[in-house]
Structure 1
Amino acid sequence: MAATGFEYAITRTLNAPAGEVWGAWTVAEDYGKWAGAEEVVMDVRPGGSWSSVMVIPGGARVPLTGSYTEVAENEHLVMGMDVPGRDEPVLMRLDLAADGGSTKVTLSQTFDTAEERDQAEQGSNMLLDGLAAFLTR
Protein backbone atom coordinates (compact mmCIF):
# COMPACT_ATOMS: atom_id res chain seq x y z
CA MET A 1 0.00 0.00 0.00
CA ALA A 2 1.12 3.54 -0.60
CA ALA A 3 2.69 5.22 2.39
CA THR A 4 1.24 8.62 1.50
CA GLY A 5 -2.35 9.76 1.64
CA PHE A 6 -5.23 9.18 3.99
CA GLU A 7 -5.26 5.67 5.44
CA TYR A 8 -7.51 3.62 7.62
CA ALA A 9 -7.18 0.18 9.15
CA ILE A 10 -10.01 -1.60 10.94
CA THR A 11 -9.23 -4.66 13.04
CA ARG A 12 -11.81 -7.05 14.44
CA THR A 13 -11.61 -10.49 15.98
CA LEU A 14 -14.21 -12.83 14.51
CA ASN A 15 -15.30 -16.05 16.18
CA ALA A 16 -14.41 -18.32 13.27
CA PRO A 17 -11.24 -20.05 12.03
CA ALA A 18 -9.18 -18.32 9.33
CA GLY A 19 -10.29 -20.87 6.70
CA GLU A 20 -13.95 -19.96 7.23
CA VAL A 21 -13.23 -16.23 7.06
CA TRP A 22 -11.16 -16.76 3.90
CA GLY A 23 -13.97 -18.77 2.32
CA ALA A 24 -16.52 -16.07 3.12
CA TRP A 25 -14.35 -13.56 1.19
CA THR A 26 -13.39 -15.82 -1.72
CA VAL A 27 -16.39 -18.08 -2.48
CA ALA A 28 -18.77 -16.07 -4.66
CA GLU A 29 -21.95 -17.64 -3.26
CA ASP A 30 -20.90 -16.96 0.35
CA TYR A 31 -19.65 -13.42 -0.38
CA GLY A 32 -22.98 -12.49 -1.93
CA LYS A 33 -24.85 -13.63 1.18
CA TRP A 34 -23.07 -11.33 3.64
CA ALA A 35 -21.90 -8.44 1.46
CA GLY A 36 -25.27 -7.50 -0.03
CA ALA A 37 -24.08 -8.46 -3.52
CA GLU A 38 -25.62 -10.27 -6.46
CA GLU A 39 -24.16 -11.72 -9.66
CA VAL A 40 -20.84 -12.26 -7.87
CA VAL A 41 -18.03 -13.68 -10.03
CA MET A 42 -14.58 -14.32 -8.50
CA ASP A 43 -11.32 -15.60 -10.00
CA VAL A 44 -9.23 -15.48 -6.82
CA ARG A 45 -5.61 -15.56 -8.00
CA PRO A 46 -3.03 -12.84 -8.69
CA GLY A 47 -4.25 -11.12 -11.87
CA GLY A 48 -7.69 -12.71 -11.58
CA SER A 49 -10.77 -10.53 -11.81
CA TRP A 50 -13.96 -10.13 -9.82
CA SER A 51 -17.32 -8.49 -10.41
CA SER A 52 -20.55 -8.04 -8.49
CA VAL A 53 -23.65 -5.93 -8.29
CA MET A 54 -23.98 -4.32 -4.85
CA VAL A 55 -27.55 -3.85 -3.70
CA ILE A 56 -27.56 -0.84 -1.41
CA PRO A 57 -30.28 0.13 1.07
CA GLY A 58 -33.20 1.52 -0.88
CA GLY A 59 -32.69 -1.04 -3.64
CA ALA A 60 -30.24 0.77 -5.92
CA ARG A 61 -27.91 -1.61 -7.80
CA VAL A 62 -24.27 -0.63 -8.28
CA PRO A 63 -22.11 -2.75 -10.63
CA LEU A 64 -18.51 -3.16 -9.41
CA THR A 65 -15.44 -4.70 -11.02
CA GLY A 66 -11.83 -5.21 -10.07
CA SER A 67 -8.94 -7.61 -9.80
CA TYR A 68 -6.75 -9.42 -7.29
CA THR A 69 -3.12 -8.32 -6.95
CA GLU A 70 -1.97 -10.51 -4.04
CA VAL A 71 -3.42 -13.80 -2.84
CA ALA A 72 -2.05 -15.82 0.10
CA GLU A 73 -4.74 -18.32 1.14
CA ASN A 74 -5.97 -17.89 4.71
CA GLU A 75 -3.45 -15.02 5.25
CA HIS A 76 -4.02 -11.98 3.04
CA LEU A 77 -5.80 -10.73 -0.04
CA VAL A 78 -5.20 -7.49 -1.93
CA MET A 79 -8.10 -6.52 -4.16
CA GLY A 80 -8.29 -3.63 -6.60
CA MET A 81 -11.60 -1.96 -7.40
CA ASP A 82 -12.07 -0.13 -10.69
CA VAL A 83 -13.30 3.44 -10.13
CA PRO A 84 -14.66 5.51 -13.04
CA GLY A 85 -12.32 8.38 -13.88
CA ARG A 86 -9.27 6.82 -12.20
CA ASP A 87 -6.40 5.21 -14.07
CA GLU A 88 -5.38 2.96 -11.17
CA PRO A 89 -7.74 0.75 -9.15
CA VAL A 90 -8.38 1.52 -5.49
CA LEU A 91 -6.69 -1.20 -3.43
CA MET A 92 -8.09 -2.85 -0.31
CA ARG A 93 -6.00 -5.20 1.81
CA LEU A 94 -7.49 -7.98 3.94
CA ASP A 95 -5.17 -9.56 6.51
CA LEU A 96 -6.12 -12.64 8.52
CA ALA A 97 -4.32 -13.88 11.65
CA ALA A 98 -5.44 -17.07 13.37
CA ASP A 99 -5.97 -16.54 17.09
CA GLY A 100 -6.93 -19.90 18.60
CA GLY A 101 -10.36 -20.70 17.14
CA SER A 102 -10.88 -17.05 16.21
CA THR A 103 -9.40 -14.90 13.47
CA LYS A 104 -8.10 -11.35 13.71
CA VAL A 105 -9.23 -9.55 10.54
CA THR A 106 -7.72 -6.25 9.38
CA LEU A 107 -9.07 -4.27 6.43
CA SER A 108 -6.96 -1.34 5.23
CA GLN A 109 -6.95 1.20 2.40
CA THR A 110 -5.23 4.46 1.42
CA PHE A 111 -6.94 7.36 -0.36
CA ASP A 112 -6.10 10.76 -1.82
CA THR A 113 -8.61 12.64 0.34
CA ALA A 114 -9.97 12.37 3.87
CA GLU A 115 -13.53 12.34 2.47
CA GLU A 116 -12.82 9.26 0.31
CA ARG A 117 -11.15 7.56 3.27
CA ASP A 118 -14.06 8.31 5.62
CA GLN A 119 -16.64 6.97 3.12
CA ALA A 120 -14.62 3.80 2.51
CA GLU A 121 -14.03 3.27 6.24
CA GLN A 122 -17.79 3.50 6.86
CA GLY A 123 -18.41 0.99 4.06
CA SER A 124 -15.75 -1.37 5.41
CA ASN A 125 -17.29 -1.29 8.88
CA MET A 126 -20.63 -2.24 7.30
CA LEU A 127 -18.92 -5.08 5.40
CA LEU A 128 -17.31 -6.40 8.59
CA ASP A 129 -20.66 -6.20 10.41
CA GLY A 130 -22.21 -8.34 7.67
CA LEU A 131 -19.28 -10.77 7.73
CA ALA A 132 -19.47 -11.18 11.51
CA ALA A 133 -23.22 -11.87 11.33
CA PHE A 134 -22.71 -14.40 8.51
CA LEU A 135 -20.01 -16.27 10.42
CA THR A 136 -22.08 -16.56 13.62
CA ARG A 137 -24.99 -18.30 11.86
Structure 2
Amino acid sequence: MTHIVENFDPKLDLVFERDIDIAPELVWAAWTKPEHLVHWFTPSPWKTLEAQSDLRPGGLFSSVMAGPNGERHDNHGCYLEVVENRRLTWTDALGPGYRPTGNSFITAVVSMEPLPNGGTRYIACARHKDEATVEAHKQMGFQEGWGKALDQLVAYMKQR
Protein backbone atom coordinates (compact mmCIF):
# COMPACT_ATOMS: atom_id res chain seq x y z
CA MET A 1 0.00 0.00 0.00
CA THR A 2 1.37 3.42 -0.90
CA HIS A 3 1.97 6.44 1.30
CA ILE A 4 -0.97 8.19 -0.36
CA VAL A 5 -3.52 5.40 -0.01
CA GLU A 6 -2.65 4.84 3.67
CA ASN A 7 -3.79 8.39 4.49
CA PHE A 8 -6.71 8.51 2.03
CA ASP A 9 -9.92 10.15 3.29
CA PRO A 10 -12.74 9.40 0.81
CA LYS A 11 -14.68 12.47 1.98
CA LEU A 12 -11.83 14.91 1.35
CA ASP A 13 -9.42 13.31 -1.13
CA LEU A 14 -9.42 12.39 -4.80
CA VAL A 15 -6.97 9.86 -6.20
CA PHE A 16 -5.81 9.18 -9.73
CA GLU A 17 -3.67 6.10 -10.38
CA ARG A 18 -2.22 4.58 -13.53
CA ASP A 19 0.74 2.46 -14.64
CA ILE A 20 2.71 4.19 -17.41
CA ASP A 21 5.55 3.03 -19.63
CA ILE A 22 8.19 5.61 -18.79
CA ALA A 23 10.68 5.49 -15.93
CA PRO A 24 10.16 7.36 -12.66
CA GLU A 25 13.18 9.54 -13.49
CA LEU A 26 11.38 10.86 -16.58
CA VAL A 27 8.19 11.51 -14.62
CA TRP A 28 10.28 13.33 -12.02
CA ALA A 29 11.97 15.49 -14.66
CA ALA A 30 8.59 16.32 -16.21
CA TRP A 31 7.23 17.43 -12.83
CA THR A 32 10.28 19.33 -11.57
CA LYS A 33 11.69 21.21 -14.55
CA PRO A 34 9.69 24.25 -15.66
CA GLU A 35 10.90 23.82 -19.24
CA HIS A 36 9.06 20.47 -19.28
CA LEU A 37 6.01 21.48 -17.21
CA VAL A 38 4.90 24.08 -19.75
CA HIS A 39 4.54 21.35 -22.39
CA TRP A 40 2.17 19.00 -20.58
CA PHE A 41 0.91 20.24 -17.21
CA THR A 42 -2.48 21.65 -18.23
CA PRO A 43 -4.96 19.37 -19.99
CA SER A 44 -5.61 20.49 -23.57
CA PRO A 45 -7.19 22.76 -24.78
CA TRP A 46 -5.81 24.70 -21.81
CA LYS A 47 -2.14 25.66 -21.92
CA THR A 48 0.51 26.30 -19.30
CA LEU A 49 2.02 29.70 -20.06
CA GLU A 50 4.59 29.79 -17.25
CA ALA A 51 5.98 27.49 -14.58
CA GLN A 52 8.42 28.02 -11.73
CA SER A 53 9.97 25.47 -9.43
CA ASP A 54 12.29 26.01 -6.48
CA LEU A 55 12.66 22.32 -5.74
CA ARG A 56 13.02 22.15 -1.95
CA PRO A 57 10.65 22.04 0.99
CA GLY A 58 9.34 25.59 1.36
CA GLY A 59 10.30 26.41 -2.24
CA LEU A 60 7.93 27.91 -4.79
CA PHE A 61 5.80 25.77 -7.10
CA SER A 62 3.91 27.97 -9.53
CA SER A 63 2.10 27.80 -12.86
CA VAL A 64 -0.01 30.08 -15.00
CA MET A 65 -2.73 28.38 -17.04
CA ALA A 66 -4.71 29.83 -19.92
CA GLY A 67 -8.03 28.54 -21.18
CA PRO A 68 -9.35 28.44 -24.75
CA ASN A 69 -11.76 31.32 -24.05
CA GLY A 70 -9.23 33.67 -22.51
CA GLU A 71 -9.51 32.31 -18.96
CA ARG A 72 -6.42 32.64 -16.81
CA HIS A 73 -5.62 30.74 -13.64
CA ASP A 74 -2.52 31.51 -11.59
CA ASN A 75 -1.42 28.78 -9.19
CA HIS A 76 1.10 29.64 -6.50
CA GLY A 77 2.16 27.47 -3.61
CA CYS A 78 5.08 25.71 -2.04
CA TYR A 79 6.60 22.30 -1.85
CA LEU A 80 6.11 20.44 1.39
CA GLU A 81 8.01 17.26 0.50
CA VAL A 82 10.59 16.52 -2.18
CA VAL A 83 11.79 12.90 -2.48
CA GLU A 84 13.77 12.62 -5.71
CA ASN A 85 12.23 10.30 -8.32
CA ARG A 86 9.61 9.13 -5.80
CA ARG A 87 7.28 11.79 -4.39
CA LEU A 88 6.36 15.47 -4.56
CA THR A 89 3.96 17.17 -2.18
CA TRP A 90 2.86 20.78 -2.53
CA THR A 91 0.03 23.05 -1.45
CA ASP A 92 -1.53 26.34 -2.45
CA ALA A 93 -2.37 27.06 1.22
CA LEU A 94 1.24 28.13 1.73
CA GLY A 95 3.61 30.20 -0.36
CA PRO A 96 7.40 30.15 -0.45
CA GLY A 97 8.96 29.86 2.97
CA TYR A 98 5.72 28.30 4.27
CA ARG A 99 4.01 31.72 4.41
CA PRO A 100 0.19 31.39 4.58
CA THR A 101 -1.48 32.53 1.36
CA GLY A 102 -5.08 32.81 2.53
CA ASN A 103 -5.96 30.37 -0.27
CA SER A 104 -6.60 26.70 0.08
CA PHE A 105 -7.90 24.59 -2.73
CA ILE A 106 -5.50 21.68 -2.80
CA THR A 107 -2.60 19.90 -1.26
CA ALA A 108 -1.31 17.47 -3.86
CA VAL A 109 0.88 14.41 -3.57
CA VAL A 110 2.35 12.76 -6.66
CA SER A 111 3.98 9.39 -6.15
CA MET A 112 6.19 7.61 -8.69
CA GLU A 113 6.77 3.94 -7.91
CA PRO A 114 9.13 1.97 -10.17
CA LEU A 115 7.65 -1.07 -11.89
CA PRO A 116 9.62 -4.21 -12.81
CA ASN A 117 9.16 -3.47 -16.54
CA GLY A 118 10.92 -0.08 -16.20
CA GLY A 119 7.69 1.87 -16.08
CA THR A 120 6.06 3.78 -13.25
CA ARG A 121 3.01 3.38 -11.07
CA TYR A 122 1.82 6.99 -11.02
CA ILE A 123 -0.44 7.98 -8.14
CA ALA A 124 -1.74 11.50 -7.62
CA CYS A 125 -3.80 12.47 -4.60
CA ALA A 126 -5.58 15.81 -4.30
CA ARG A 127 -6.39 16.62 -0.68
CA HIS A 128 -9.08 19.22 0.01
CA LYS A 129 -10.14 21.30 3.01
CA ASP A 130 -13.82 20.35 2.87
CA GLU A 131 -16.39 18.31 0.98
CA ALA A 132 -17.56 21.32 -1.06
CA THR A 133 -14.05 21.79 -2.44
CA VAL A 134 -13.85 18.07 -3.30
CA GLU A 135 -17.14 18.32 -5.16
CA ALA A 136 -15.97 21.42 -7.04
CA HIS A 137 -12.80 19.58 -8.11
CA LYS A 138 -14.86 16.59 -9.28
CA GLN A 139 -17.08 18.93 -11.30
CA MET A 140 -13.98 20.50 -12.86
CA GLY A 141 -13.19 17.02 -14.20
CA PHE A 142 -10.48 15.78 -11.82
CA GLN A 143 -10.19 12.24 -13.24
CA GLU A 144 -10.42 13.26 -16.89
CA GLY A 145 -8.14 16.29 -16.48
CA TRP A 146 -5.41 14.53 -14.53
CA GLY A 147 -5.62 11.61 -16.98
CA LYS A 148 -5.30 13.87 -20.00
CA ALA A 149 -2.37 15.73 -18.43
CA LEU A 150 -0.64 12.43 -17.66
CA ASP A 151 -1.14 11.29 -21.28
CA GLN A 152 0.47 14.57 -22.37
CA LEU A 153 3.36 14.07 -19.91
CA VAL A 154 4.06 10.56 -21.24
CA ALA A 155 3.87 11.62 -24.90
CA TYR A 156 6.08 14.64 -24.31
CA MET A 157 8.73 12.76 -22.32
CA LYS A 158 8.87 9.95 -24.90
CA GLN A 159 9.95 12.59 -27.44
CA ARG A 160 12.87 13.67 -25.23
Q: When the two structures are superposed, what TM-score results if normalisation uses the length of structure 1?
A: 0.84
Higher relative contact order (CA 8 A, sep 6+): 1
**Aligned-partner Cα distance in 1 for 2:13–2:19:** 20
CA contact (8 A) 2:52 2:62 kept: yes
CA contact (8 A) 1:15 1:135 kept: no
- Is residue 110 from structure 1 mapped to residue 123 from structure 2 by the alignment? no
Q: 1:88 to 1:59 in 2, by over 3 A?
A: closer
**Aligned-partner Cα distance in 2 for 1:133–1:59:** 26
Deviation at 1:2? 7.0
Superposition RMSD in Å:
2.4
Percent identity over the alignment? Answer: 27
Q: What number of residue pairs does the alignment pair up?
A: 136
Q: When the two structures are superposed, what TM-score results if normalisation uses the length of structure 2?
A: 0.73
Secondary structure of 1:123 counterpart: helix
Q: 1:56 to 1:126 in 2, by over 3 A?
A: farther
Aligned counterpart in structure 1 of residue 68 of structure 2, from 37, 57, 74: 57
Q: Which residue of 2 aligns with 1:97?
A: 113
Deviation at 1:4? 6.8
Instruction: Output the amino acid matched with 1:135.
Output: M
**Aligned-partner Cα distance in 1 for 2:153–2:28:** 11
Instruction: Output the amino acid matched with 1:58.
Output: N
CA contact (8 A) 1:5 1:110 kept: no
Instruction: Output the amino acid matched with 2:89.
Output: V
Q: Which residue of 2 aligns with 1:41?
A: 52
Q: Which residue of 2 aligns with 1:14?
A: 20
**Aligned-partner Cα distance in 2 for 1:98–1:68:** 22
Q: Which residue of 1 aligns with 2:147?
A: 125
Instruction: Output the amino acid matched with 1:29.
Output: E
CA contact (8 A) 2:93 2:107 kept: no
In terms of mean alpha carbon deviation, does 114-123 or 64-73 score higher? 114-123
